[in-house]
Each structure stands twice: as C-alpha cells, then as structure tokens.
Amino acid sequence: MKTKPGFPGFIILSGAFVILLVLSVCGQEGQSPKYRDGVYQGTSRGYIDDVTVELKITNGRIESVTVVKHGETAPQNAPLLIPEQIVSRQGIEGVDAVSGATSTSKAILDATGKALEKAAVDQPSPAPTIIPQKEDKHMKKSLGANHFTPSPVWVIGSYDKEGKPNVMTAAWVGICCSDPPCVTISLRKATYTYGNIMERKAYTVNLPSEEFLKQTDYFGLVSGRDTDKFKATDLTPVKSELVDAPYVKEFPLILECQLVHSYEAGLHTMFIGEIKDVKADESILGPNGLPDMAKLKPFMYLPKDSNYYRMGEKIGKGFSVGKEITR
C-alpha cells in the first residue's frame, strides 16, 4: 500500500529534487568542452584503401562526421551509419560495426578517433596556417595626376619684335610627327618666348651638352624680357637661314622649326613646328655620320626632384632587341 508522504516528507523530497536538478544543470554547464570548435580530418587504412573522415565540432560537440574519401568496394551503409552513431554517442565508444563492412566500419571509427585527438582541448592548438603573401613589385602606388617623367633638356631660341635674340630652357619638348618631321614644345604664356613665337612663327630647338649645364639652367631662371641671356653667358646667337629664329652656335645639335599649329592644353600652349633642318657639329658625329650620344652628352631633367641627370650608355638596338620575343 502506498502511503502519501506527509508535509515534512514532501518538503524534503522536493528539496532533494531541486538540488539534484541544480547539480545536474550545473554539472553540464560547468563541464568544460572536450573538443575545440573547428573542422578536423583523420585517415585510417580500410580494407582496400585509405578512409578519410571530416569531423565538425561546434560549441564543443561533434556536430557531424562525414566520410570524405574511401576506396572500399563493399562499404554497405557504413559511411552513413557509423557517422550517425558517432554523432549520437558524441564519440566512438560503443559504436557497432556494420555487418558485412567490418573493416570499413573500423577504419571510419579509427579515422574519427584520430580526428578527435586533433580536436581534443588538451592538444596543443594547431599552428595557424600562414598563407605566404606573394610580393608584387609591380603593385602601383598613386603619385597623383602630375608630371614625374624624366625629360631631355632643350633650349628654345626665338627673336622678339625688335629682333633681340632670346633663349629659354624647356623640358616639355618632343617629336610629334615623322612626316613631315615635327617637334612640339609646350610653353606658358608668361614666358617671353611665347610672345616671340606668336610674333615670328618660328623657333629653334637647341640641344645643350653637359658642358653647358649651368648656362642651360640659367636660361630657365631669368626672362629675356629684361635680360640679354646671350650676353650674360657669352654664348653666340646665329640667325637661321631657314626660319626666323636664332640658334645657339656653341650647342652641338639644333633643329630649325617653322610654326605650323598651336594648341591650348591648359597652362601650357603646345606649339607644333615643322623641322626644316637639323644641324650638328661635326665633332659630335660618329663614324656613321649620325650624332654619337657619347659625344653629344645630352642630359635629362626630373621635374619633381628638380635634378639634372646624365643620360646612360647604349643598352640595345632599337627595333631589334625585341625581335627575340617575336620568334
């Protein structure tokens, strides 16, 4: 015959139940996880080939086990049934082998055991995988919209309204057409030379050699508006026979140009001049009758660091060294 507990007995039983409940909850909560979260792999030898499993641990629990590779010919349902059991038992202990696939079952269990070893919290943390970053030397850094390119240095010769010869240094110079041969120079309106060219429709482009570095720099420092730059440097203006402009006698290479176009580019006006003739000192010509760079000794200007640089030695033949790639 069952007897109902009296009031004190009921209180004792309820209290014990609450204590047990609290202990059990605390026990679960307080248990530190056995496994670290992550994905781990393990491999073991099956009947025919290796069996690899992938184990996913989430919140310290085995969330899934997947056989990612096996070469067994008769695995039965082992790749499905064994993982199911492992997940439900949260481990490999007590998992039954699938009949007819004992070796495969054992291999799956063994591989899972190895993966669990890796996941175990008392294992040292696997070293982080460091993917080596490939160094890219061509990674470009923006320098802003500006002019940074090195340019050969030239001196522009012109006459003013009264016929006074003037010279100014210019780096914004370049060949712009080969037939008819043309050269472009870009000048600010503020230069005295600008007005001279507008007036006379002609100019010379003179190439100084290194020995005239100082004079060339000077030509860019002062204006012909208030100075006679030829007199100040003891250089000699020679009137071109082909165009209405003077050239610098002492400079080794000169281009005599007739103005054919002008274009407003912004701060600078581009003048395009047809080259009527190129004249050179014989002393700078090579055995082939052409200017020899080693004798000419032109120099470059690098705008943003404001320095002049010597031009280098010959490094290869144009329209030739690249042929190797066309083969």
Ligand X SMILES: Cc1cc2nc3c(=O)[nH]c(=O)nc-3n(C[C@H](O)[C@H](O)[C@H](O)COP(=O)(O)O)c2cc1C
Rank residues 268 and 276 by Cβ distance to ligand X and give the closer one: 268
Sole window of 17-25, 85-93, 115-123, 162-170 interacting with ligand X (rule: CB under 6 A): 162-170
Sole window of 16-24, 95-103, 182-190, 279-287 interacting with ligand X (rule: CB under 6 A): 182-190
Distance CA 45, CA 106 (A): 9
Q: Which of 281, 259, 278, 279 is nearest to 270 (CA)?
A: 259
Q: Considering only residues 244 through 263, tell me which ones interact with ligand X, judged by CB under 6 A.
A: none
Is residue 171 a contact point for ligand X (CB under 6 A)? yes
User: In a 10 Å sphere around its CB, with 0-12 CB exposed, 13-18 middle and 19+ buried, how is residue 52 labelled?
Assistant: buried
Beta carbons of 211 and 297 less than 8 angstroms apart: yes
Q: Which of 177, 178, 196, 176 is nearest to 187 (CA)?
A: 196
Q: Which of 88, 31, 34 is nearest to 60 (CA)?
A: 34
Residues that bind ligand X (rule: CB under 6 A) add up to a total of 20
Sole window of 27-35, 52-60, 214-222, 242-250 interacting with ligand X (rule: CB under 6 A): 214-222
Is residue 220 a contact point for ligand X (CB under 6 A)? yes
Is residue 217 a contact point for ligand X (CB under 6 A)? yes
Beta carbons of 89 and 83 less than 8 angstroms apart: no
Rank residues 222 and 293 by Cβ distance to ligand X and give the closer one: 222
* Rounded least distance, CB 179 to ligand X, Å: 25
Task: Give CA 182 to chain center in angstroms.
Answer: 36
* Rounded least distance, CB 188 to ligand X, Å: 4
* Rounded least distance, CB 223 to ligand X, Å: 3
Q: What H or E segment, with its residue span, contains residue 203?
A: strand 202-207
Footprint of ligand X (CB under 6 A) = 153, 166, 168-172, 186-188, 191-193, 217, 220, 222-225, 301
